[in-house]
Amino acid sequence: MSKQNYCLTPEEEHYAKACLTLAKRWGLIDDDSFSALEGRRTAKNAQAEKAEQDGKPVYGTRHFSAPAYLQYELTRFKLDFVEPCEKIRALGICPDFTDAQTRAWYDANPDLFTRYAGDSFPYEEVKQIIEKRMREEVYDSLVQDLLRESADRQ
């Protein structure tokens, strides 16, 4: 299957490749190529099909198209970093934030924590969400670093 089957612009393809490369570096996948991605998609679809044939419940998507599976993996990698999975924690690459850092982020983004009626969520209620958003920013920064490295080599 060619890369074209993933419905990506050249920029989106570079971004996806950077995410796959990070996942490989972290040990979340063994191969960051698009052909390996297709192999994982085929295996995932076969697993769901077998479970369904065996009368076992299948939760979520039963059959992934190529673009849907790519999005599934890219989302999973980001979530593995944002809500650190065991492998990410073991690597020690996922940052922990101090109360002062999360409080500063909360204070800098008040519009994100306002209810419909205009009142704000208390800091204590959203601290965990803030930590996740901050990790998302770190993840995005790591992907951008890889993209710059790739651009510098070309």
- Please tell me the distance from the alpha carbon of residue 6 to that of residue 8, in angstroms, as a whole number: 6
Q: Is the pTM of this model over 0.75?
A: yes
- Please tell me the distance from the alpha carbon of residue 37 to that of residue 29, in angstroms, as a whole number: 9
| pLDDT recorded at residue 142 | 96
| pLDDT recorded at residue 154 | 65
Helical packing angle, 123-153 and 10-25, nearest 10°? 110
Tokens of 84: 């650190």
Residues 76-121 have pLDDT tens digits of 999 999 999 999 999 999 899 999 999 999 999 988 999 888 899 9
| pLDDT recorded at residue 148 | 92
| pLDDT recorded at residue 2 | 55
Q: In 83-122, which ranges are continuous DSSP H helix?
A: 86-91, 99-108
DSSP state letter for 2: -
- The low-confidence residues of the chain, meaning pLDDT below 70, are 1-4, 154
